[in-house]
Amino acid sequence: MEEFIVTVDGPAGSGKSTIAKIVASKYGLTYLDTGAMYRMIALYALENNVNLEAMLENTKLDIVGNKFFLNGKDVSEEIRTPEVSGIVSPVAAIKAVRVKLVELQREISKGKKTILDGRDIGTVVFPNAQVKIFLVASPEERARRRLNEYKEKGIEADFESVITSIKERDHIDSTRKESPLMKADDAVEIDSSVMTIEEVV
């Protein structure tokens, strides 16, 4: 099968994963949530006080359907907590982490029809992708969506701390030296602030 790549980049809570999942099932594409990969490394860093090189050497990431396994353990829920969100951006700014995960992302997508969401997919991971989307929304709307997700999962959080954390992450992700969050020149920008999920799809 010929490789066909759709990239969806954008800031936290802009709706990337919601849209990518629906488009994937509608058009028969494989969906790859690259943020979950950075979150697994961040979780491992939270749990283990080891040095970075040893840590990267000892992490095995597996993705089976919509389940994420860190060294064989299902961590699909744990990688979405506010604690992991609080440290994932500094971890994702480390060059060695990005080198390892970008290689894995290209490997997983090899020869397949794939939609990937993240921050640097259209700019760095797949600069030649056939379709590139840059999804944005206002910080307030993104915080509201994230707060709803937490509520559904029974995680306690308040609007102020969620919006502060989102803005902090936006800042780190957009100003880091290694593959910062930015729109690829040839990406189509969609502002999802006042659009329904169906309209964005």
Minimal distance, residue 90 CB to ligand CDP, in Å: 8
Residues in CB range of 9: below 8 A, 6 or more apart: 16, 117, 118, 119, 120, 121, 122, 123, 132, 133, 134, 135, 181, 183, 184, 187
Would strands 67-70 and 73-74 be described as parallel, antiparallel, or unpaired? Answer: antiparallel
Report residue 137 as tokens: 């929304």
| The total number of residues written for the chain in this structure | 201
Q: Which stretch binds ligand CDP (CB under 6 A): 21-29, 52-60, 114-122, 153-161?
A: 114-122
Binding ligand CDP by CB under 6 A: which of 38, 44, 68, 150? Answer: 38
Binding ligand CDP by CB under 6 A: which of 41, 70, 109, 120? Answer: 120
Sheet harboring 73-74: ordered strands across? Answer: 61-64, 67-70, 73-74
Complex with ligand CDP: residue 39 or 132, whichever CB lies closer: 39
Instruction: Decide if 5 contacts 126 (C-beta within 8 A).
Output: yes
The structure tokens 């509520």 sit at: 151
Distance separating alpha carbons of residues 8 and 33, to the nearest angstrom:
10
Minimal distance, residue 67 CB to ligand CDP, in Å: 15
Report residue 122 as tokens: 């259209």
Minimal distance, residue 151 CB to ligand CDP, in Å: 16
Q: Which residue is nearest to ligand CDP (CB)?
A: 35
Binding ligand CDP by CB under 6 A: which of 5, 6, 29, 88? Answer: 88
The reply on whether position 119 binds ligand CDP by CB under 6 A is: yes
Minimal distance, residue 92 CB to ligand CDP, in Å: 3
The reply on whether position 34 binds ligand CDP by CB under 6 A is: yes
Distance separating alpha carbons of residues 195 and 201, to the nearest angstrom:
10
Minimal distance, residue 72 CB to ligand CDP, in Å: 21
Q: Which stretch binds ligand CDP (CB under 6 A): 21-29, 70-78, 87-95, 130-138?
A: 87-95
Interface ranges with ligand CDP (CB under 6 A): 12-13, 17, 34-36, 38-39, 88-89, 92, 118-121, 169, 173
